Each structure stands twice: as structure tokens, then as C-alpha cells.
Structure 1
Amino acid sequence: MTAISAFLSSSLPLVCVSVLMGCAAIQAWRAQPTPRPVPVRVRNRR
């Protein structure tokens, strides 16, 4: 039990930091203007 609790307590900050960095990366990726390809099939269908 002590080994598991020590592992969790030691890896929890790393998990939190990785999740925060992932969220920040997603926010920055969605913030920048990315040229999205226009769907040709939907445009030709109308």
C-alpha cells in the first residue's frame, strides 16, 4: 500500500503538469488560424 501511495503521490504532479501542458497546447493550436480545406462534396451536392 505504501509503495502504491508513494508512486501516486510522486506521479500525480507529473500527470497534472502533462494535462495542463496538453490543454495549453490545444488552446494555442485552436487559437491560431488554420486554413481548413473546403469540403467539395457538400458544395457540389447543393
Structure 2
Amino acid sequence: MFKILAQINKVLLPSFSKQRMDLAKAKKWQMAIIGYRYYVTTRALS
């Protein structure tokens, strides 16, 4: 299930690492997206 979610996230959600965003300057909604993507990716890999 998480592998499918990870693929959907890759297509739909923005990649902040490609935009070279500084995490210290990220807004709360951006941090929420980063945290969600991190959670799904770690679960998909395990």
C-alpha cells in the first residue's frame, strides 16, 4: 500500500529538494508535506 502511495506522491506533490529549499525557511504547510512524504517513503522501503 505504501509503495503505491509513494508513487502517487512522486507525481502529485512538489519536490522541495529539487527546488533547493532551505528547511529552516520552510513554511508550516511545506514542512507538513515534507513530513508526510518522509513517512510514506520510509514505510514503502521497509
Could you state the TM-score of these two structures normalised by the residue count of structure 1?
0.43
Higher relative contact order (CA 8 A, sep 6+): 2
Higher Cα radius of gyration:
1
